[in-house]
Amino acid sequence: MIKKNHFGRITLGLIMLLSVILLGVTGFMIIEHYNFTEAFFMTVNTMATVGFKEFQPLSKVGMWFTSFLIIISFGIFAYVVTSFTQFVVDGVFRNYFRTKRMQNKIDKLKDHVIICGYGRNGKQAVQELKSHNVPVVVIENELTHLDHLRDSLDTLYIDGDATQDEVLLQAGLERASALIATLPNDAHNLFLVLTARQLNPNITIISRASEDSSDIKLRRAGADNVIMPDKIGGRRMARLVAKPDVVEFLDYMTQQGSDNVVLDEVDLEGITDYFNGRPLREIEVHNDTGARIIGIKQQNRIFVINPLPETVVTSRDKFFALGTKKQVEQLRDLISNRFVKG
């Protein structure tokens, strides 16, 4: 966004310039009895200091008035030129059109993720979402982080305060699928979560927290999940000591590219009538995709790890499948589109 002080300085300079012109025209008409055209010409001539001869010899009062007009005109001209030069040199004019183009792209997004704060957590979230081809919009107002965002030409961002309603709406909150609050201050995250939940009751909200006491407050404000990076980091370091191979294996598995083995989720909302309400074995019998179902999240938010063949699946459940991206996509097709009851 364009900083308001740039426009404010230029606007102030133009107002001052017009005021001096009005003062000059009025003064010459009253003191020297010029008509409007003559007074305007003399005012511009005096302000520009081009040295054209006056229409008639000036009176002493007119000389003093002209001298005063030259002095204040010179200062105002210098102010306007300096402000406009800074406007151009700072790239504000260029950034204006870049911001407009970026906003047009944001206005066309749907089911995107809004990340509030581009610090260490926010930057990692952006990179991870991009690796899964999820559209992202970043909201940031800290100058250092904005410089990094400007250098990243493929990241959509808004320069603004994420706790403000108009900024969240500008980022497309009403059309977004999720919001990630990674502001450095828990109180700011709390206010952000509360505001976002009121503007979009259906959006998924994930918030960062630093203090243990903030967890409950953020959830009460509307956060679906609360992440505490320091606590997660401590647990991870402890597990690397206790079970290093397990941690390294999970990291290796989750960090693979789309062509390698990945752990992905499969929503069962589109499950066919044939499979809906039947045991898992009915799906596994036809599952020749290569993807393996290693877990289920049931409608009552219960997780079933390594589910038994007798586990009944419904359209409100969600599978966790292990396989390549292609294999997981084939599994989705199997349970929703391709299988036809014989």
pLDDT digits (tens, 9 = 90+) for 232-282: 888 888 988 888 888 888 777 766 555 566 788 888 888 888 888 889 998
At 114, which CATH number? 3.40.50.720
Q: Is residue 15 part of a domain?
A: yes
Of the candidates 89, 123, 146, which is a domain's last residue?
89
Q: What does the alpha-carbon distance between residue 296 and residue 294 come to, in Å, rounded to a whole number?
A: 7
Q: Is residue 237 part of a domain?
A: no
Q: Is residue 162 part of a domain?
A: yes
Is the pLDDT reported for residue 181 higher than 90? Answer: yes
Is the pLDDT reported for residue 216 higher than 60? Answer: yes
Confidence of residue 54 (pLDDT cuts 50, 70, 90): low
Which pLDDT does position 174 carry in this prediction? 95
Same-domain check for residues 79 and 116: no
At 334, which CATH number? 3.30.70.1450
Name the helix (H) or strand (E) containing 294.
strand 292-297
Q: Is residue 59 part of a domain?
A: yes
Q: Is residue 249 part of a domain?
A: no
Indicate the SS3 state at residue 338.
helix
Q: Is residue 99 part of a domain?
A: no
Confidence of residue 53 (pLDDT cuts 50, 70, 90): low
Q: What does the alpha-carbon distance between residue 83 and residue 96 come to, in Å, rounded to a whole number?
A: 16
At 36, which CATH number? 1.10.287.70
What is the rounded average pLDDT of the residues 122-145?
A: 91
Which pLDDT does position 57 carry in this prediction? 75
Q: What are phi and psi of 320, to 5 degrees?
A: -115, 115
Same-domain check for residues 228 and 113: yes
Same-domain check for residues 206 and 116: yes
Which pLDDT does position 12 carry in this prediction? 80
Q: What does the alpha-carbon distance between residue 319 and residue 316 come to, in Å, rounded to a whole number?
A: 10
Same-domain check for residues 142 and 71: no
Of the candidates 232, 250, 280, which is a domain's last residue?
232
Confidence of residue 1 (pLDDT cuts 50, 70, 90): very low
Residue 249 one-letter amino acid: F
Q: What does the alpha-carbon distance between residue 50 and residue 44 come to, in Å, rounded to a whole number?
A: 9
pLDDT digit string, tens, across residues 15-51: 888 888 898 889 888 988 888 888 888 888 887 766 6
Confidence of residue 140 (pLDDT cuts 50, 70, 90): very high
Q: Is residue 135 part of a domain?
A: yes
What is the rounded average pLDDT of the residues 117-141?
A: 92
Same-domain check for residues 125 and 196: yes
Same-domain check for residues 201 and 118: yes
Confidence of residue 342 (pLDDT cuts 50, 70, 90): very low
- Mean pLDDT of the residues in the chain: 85
Same-domain check for residues 158 and 204: yes
The number of folded domains in the chain is: 3
Q: Which domain holds residue 14?
A: 4-89
What is the rounded average pLDDT of the residues 144-148?
A: 85
Confidence of residue 190 (pLDDT cuts 50, 70, 90): very high
Which pLDDT does position 221 carry in this prediction? 93
Q: Is residue 173 part of a domain?
A: yes
Indicate the SS3 state at residue 108.
coil
Confidence of residue 98 (pLDDT cuts 50, 70, 90): confident
What is the rounded average pLDDT of the residues 213-221?
A: 92
H, E, C per residue of 47-65: HHCCCCCCCCCCCHHHHHH
Measured CA to CA in angstroms, residue 213 lies from 220, 307, 324 at distances of: 12, 35, 40
- Write down the pTM of the prediction: 0.62
pLDDT digit string, tens, across residues 277-309: 889 998 888 888 889 999 999 887 889 999 999
Indicate the SS3 state at residue 72.
helix
Helices (H), the chain: 4-31, 36-48, 60-89, 92-107, 120-131, 143-151, 165-170, 186-199, 212-221, 229-242, 244-254, 280-286, 325-333
Indicate the SS3 state at residue 2.
coil
Confidence of residue 341 (pLDDT cuts 50, 70, 90): very low
Which pLDDT does position 254 carry in this prediction? 67
